[in-house]
Amino acid sequence: LLSAGEPADSQSKARNTVSLRHALLAVLTAEPMTGYDLIRYFDGTVEFVWHAPHSQIYPELRRMEQAGLVDVQVVPRGERAEKRIYSITDAGMRELRTWLADISPYQQERDLSRLRAAHFEFSTYEAARNQLQAHLDHYSRALRNWERMVEDVEARRVPLMRERMRKRPEAEHEAIAAFRRFAFRGEVAKARAEAAWAEEGLALLDELEKKGVPLWGEPGGAETA
């Protein structure tokens, strides 16, 4: 049996669970910050490549601390409270670099929209249209977001990126901006492809309905066999 997309690389153990860890390390390269700050950056810009809720981030930071990947500075907040400011260590930087060189196997597909679309014959024209319209809406919104982010990167309007640049020599600035822009452009391309796919699907539904092709779910269509 031939399977779809086996990476099948002979070497490279590439044991790549725990990527939340690397996402956190990557953000911490910009500047030391609290878990709370990390969550904000995740929800702001990093979110689009790696989402994580705070219930995952706080415990992971503790584990990273124990593994020596980050240092903590405990700072009093007012009279009674405290906050924990994390910064990346040399070991953390090494871990990040190692991870950047690891080729990891591509994770298996699990695509709800596609799974549904492949079986629209059991549905109704109306329900199928709703699905595709939701798909189109979702990716249209996403597209606008990522396009604005590409512009923000080009105009150097991203605070965390500016901070990162401030700490590095001028010569490296171009690379820092270029790779961020490149990543966002990947999302732009994906969103565009998905939106176009949804539109193709909506056109297909119109065509089939006009031809009078019946679906199982329709009142007029055949019922359960």
Touching a copy of itself, residues 17-56 (CB under 8 A)? 19, 22-23, 26, 29, 40, 43-44, 47-51
Rounded distance between C-alpha atoms, residue 190 and residue 181, angstroms: 14
Shortest Cβ 76–a copy of itself spacing (Å): 26
Q: Is 180 in the site for a copy of itself (CB under 8 A)?
A: yes
CA distance 55 to 40: 13
Q: Which of residues 190-209 bind a copy of itself (CB under 8 A)?
A: 190, 192-194, 196-197, 200-201, 204, 208
Minimum CB distance to a copy of itself smaller for 76 or for 224: 224
- Residue ranges in contact with DNA by CB under 7 A: 17-20, 34-37, 39-40, 51-56, 58-59, 61-62, 77-84, 107-108, 110
Give the DSSP per-residue string, 131-184: HHHHHHHHHHHHHHHHHHHHHHHHTT--HHHHHHHHTS-HHHHHHHHHHHHHHH
Angle at 145 between CA 134 and CA 40, to 5 degrees: 105
Binding mask 134-173 for a copy of itself (x = CB under 8 A): x---x--xx--x---------------------xxx-xx-
Closest CA to 114 of 201, 213, 7, 215: 201
Q: Min. distance of Cβ 165 from a copy of itself in angstroms?
A: 10
Per DSSP, the residues of 179-198 read: HHHHHHHHHHHHHHHHHHHH
Q: How far is the CB of 168 from DNA (least distance, A)?
A: 25
Which DSSP helix (H) or strand (E) runs through 201?
helix 170-211
Residue placing its CB nearer to a copy of itself in the complex, 60 or 180: 180
| 129 is an interface residue for a copy of itself by CB under 8 A | no
Nearer to DNA, 62 or 173 (CB): 62
Smallest gap from Cβ 200 to DNA, in A, equals 26
Phi, psi for 73 (deg, rounded to 5): -120, 115
Report the sign of the C-alpha dihedral through residues 206, 211, 216, 217, in that order.
positive
CB of residue 33 vs a copy of itself: minimum separation in angstroms? 15
Binding positions for a copy of itself, 46-105, rule CB under 8 A: 47-51, 90, 93, 96-97, 99-101, 103-104
